[in-house]
């Protein structure tokens, strides 16, 4: 191949090489005229062969995706290449793309500016992946926060469960202790019940004996032809024999438990106060007297009376025995 053929083919090779580049690339001369646009750039910016050689300010791409005129002018004054990262370009309302734009000044070997080259690297997919990654990271962070929160809740729940278990164990121990106490109390109650049954049996026996004594005493009192009255230290009637009922016209049920001095009988009880009190105080062992009264028939009668102290088991005065004997002239 001779030199002329090589020189002829060189521009074609450069053009083919530029068009095979997957990165969109344009170039302007020093005056801002578009001198090169590879196939990727022509497709991206909708350029035709007629746009080559036109001033860049006359073309739509001069402000898409950014103000390229200003960018080119700034690049001419900078010693180093200029790069813009992730420049957004909305080709339509539904589609948005991102480009890394690299601006490089073209100079001769003598460092003379002859043009500016701009490369548009499509980083939309990387941007989407980055967005997805960020979104995933956010979701992971949220999930981690939720997981940490759930873990804290589980730890709190576990602590509460442990506390509840300890409380239940304590309650169980208390219940066991209470159960033991109840068993002990039950045993004591059973023992007490047995004792009460024994006492009840003894009381039954004693009651029977007492009833026999009372019946015997009543029979003795009933055999008295005199009026016999027993008065306790509170002056209440404790014994009222049948002769007293017949003599004064007051039944035993009406007299028992009543104040002797409050009974409505034909006997001037006020005259007996001194004698009764003297005996209750222990000032006199036995005191005799005569007194006039009116029986239940309204008859005036003379009575021989006596007051005798009544002693309890401790040999202390517990009351007074009042005996009233009508004169022999009193009708039987």
Whole-angstrom distance, CA of residue 257 vs CA of residue 74: 132
Query: What pLDDT was estimated at residue 6?
Result: 42
Query: What pLDDT was estimated at residue 8?
Result: 44
**Residue 57 belongs to domain with CATH number:** 3.30.450.20
Same domain, yes or no: 259 and 288 = yes
How many CB atoms lie under 10 A from the CB of residue 161?
Answer: 11
Please compute the mean of the pLDDT values over residues 83-95 and round it to a whole number: 76
Please compute the mean of the pLDDT values over residues 195-201 and round it to a whole number: 83
Q: Which H helix or E strand runs over 16?
A: helix 3-19
Same domain, yes or no: 143 and 69 = no
Same domain, yes or no: 73 and 152 = no
Query: What pLDDT was estimated at residue 238?
Result: 92
Whether the pLDDT of residue 52 is over 90: the answer is yes
Nearest-5° angle of CA 190, CA 194, CA 200? 135
Among 105, 107, 102, residue whose Cα is nearest residue 120:
102
Same domain, yes or no: 295 and 305 = yes
In a domain, 257, yes or no: yes
Whole-angstrom distance, CA of residue 152 vs CA of residue 160: 12
Q: Report pLDDT digits (tens) over 136-180.
A: 889 989 888 998 888 899 898 889 988 888 998 888 899 889 888
Q: Which of 122, 141, 156 is the last residue of a domain?
A: 122
* 9 vs 264, more confident: 264
Band (pLDDT 50/70/90 cuts) for residue 218 is low
Same domain, yes or no: 13 and 94 = yes
Query: What pLDDT was estimated at residue 288?
Result: 86
Same domain, yes or no: 54 and 81 = yes
In a domain, 23, yes or no: yes
Same domain, yes or no: 115 and 150 = no
In a domain, 37, yes or no: yes
In a domain, 305, yes or no: yes
Whether the pLDDT of residue 312 is over 80: the answer is yes
Same domain, yes or no: 45 and 107 = yes
In a domain, 331, yes or no: no
Which are the contacts of 144, defined by CB distance < 8 A and separation ≥ 6? Answer: none
Mean pLDDT of the chain: 84
Q: Is this structure's pTM higher than 0.75?
A: no
Q: Which of 122, 157, 183 is the last residue of a domain?
A: 122
Exposed (0-12), middle (13-18) or buried (19+): which is 281, by Cβ within 10 Å?
exposed
Same domain, yes or no: 219 and 229 = no
Write out the two tokens for 130.
Answer: 């980055």
Counting the structural domains of the chain, the total is 3
In a domain, 332, yes or no: no
What percent of the chain lies above the pLDDT cut of 70? 86
Whether the pLDDT of residue 298 is over 50: the answer is yes
Domain containing 307: what range?
225-326
Same domain, yes or no: 112 and 8 = yes
Same domain, yes or no: 210 and 234 = no
Whether the pLDDT of residue 214 is over 70: the answer is no
Query: What pLDDT was estimated at residue 221?
Result: 65
Q: Report pLDDT digits (tens) over 224-257.
A: 778 899 999 899 999 999 999 998 989 999 989 9
Same domain, yes or no: 214 and 176 = yes
**Cβ atoms 95, 108 nearer than 8 A:** no
Q: Which of 193, 223, 253 is the last residue of a domain?
A: 223
Query: What pLDDT was estimated at residue 3?
Result: 47
Please compute the mean of the pLDDT values over residues 44-63 and round it to a whole number: 89
Whole-angstrom distance, CA of residue 141 vs CA of residue 132: 14
In a domain, 303, yes or no: yes
Whether the pLDDT of residue 259 is over 70: the answer is yes
Q: Report pLDDT digits (tens) over 71-86.
A: 888 888 877 788 888 8
Band (pLDDT 50/70/90 cuts) for residue 264 is confident
Please compute the mean of the pLDDT values over residues 284-294 and round it to a whole number: 85
What percent of the chain lies above the pLDDT cut of 90? 16
In a domain, 267, yes or no: yes
Whether the pLDDT of residue 332 is over 50: the answer is no
């Amino acid at each position: 191949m001779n030199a002329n053929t090589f020189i002829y083919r060189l521009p074609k090779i450069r053009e083919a090489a530029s068009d095979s580049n997957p990165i969109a690339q344009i170039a302007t001369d020093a005056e801002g005229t578009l001198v090169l646009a590879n196939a990727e750039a022509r497709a991206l910016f909708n350029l035709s062969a007629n746009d080559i050689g036109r001033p860049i300010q006359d073309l739509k791409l001069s402000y898409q995706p950014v103000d390229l005129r200003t960018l080119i002018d700034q690049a001419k004054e900078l010693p180093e290449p200029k790069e813009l990262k992730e420049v957004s370009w909305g080709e339509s309302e539904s589609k948005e793309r991102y480009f890394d734009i690299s601006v490089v000044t073209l100079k001769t070997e003598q460092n003379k500016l002859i043009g500016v080259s701009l490369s548009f690297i499509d980083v939309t997919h990387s941007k989407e992946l980055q967005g997805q990654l960020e979104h995933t990271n956010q979701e992971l962070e949220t999930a981690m926060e939720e997981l940490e929160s759930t873990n804290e809740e589980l730890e709190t729940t576990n602590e509460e469960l442990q506390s509840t278990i300890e409380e239940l164990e304590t309650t169980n121990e208390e219940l066991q202790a209470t159960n033991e106490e109840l068993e002990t109390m039950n045993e004591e109650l059973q023992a007490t019940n047995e004792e009460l049954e024994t006492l009840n049996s003894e009381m039954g026996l004693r009651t029977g004996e007492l009833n026999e004594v009372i019946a015997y005493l009543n029979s003795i009192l009933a055999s008295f032809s005199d009026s016999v009255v027993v008065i306790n230290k509170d002056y209440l009637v404790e014994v009222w024999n049948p002769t007293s009922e017949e003599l004064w016209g007051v039944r035993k049920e009406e007299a028992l438990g009543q104040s002797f001095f409050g009974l409505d009988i034909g006997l001037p009880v006020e005259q007996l106060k001194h004698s009764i009190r003297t005996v209750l105080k222990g000032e006199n062992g036995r005191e005799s007297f005569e007194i006039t009264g009116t029986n239940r028939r309204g008859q005036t009668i003379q009575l021989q009376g006596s007051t005798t102290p009544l002693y309890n088991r401790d040999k202390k005065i517990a009351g007074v025995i009042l005996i009233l004997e009508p004169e022999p002239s009193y009708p039987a």
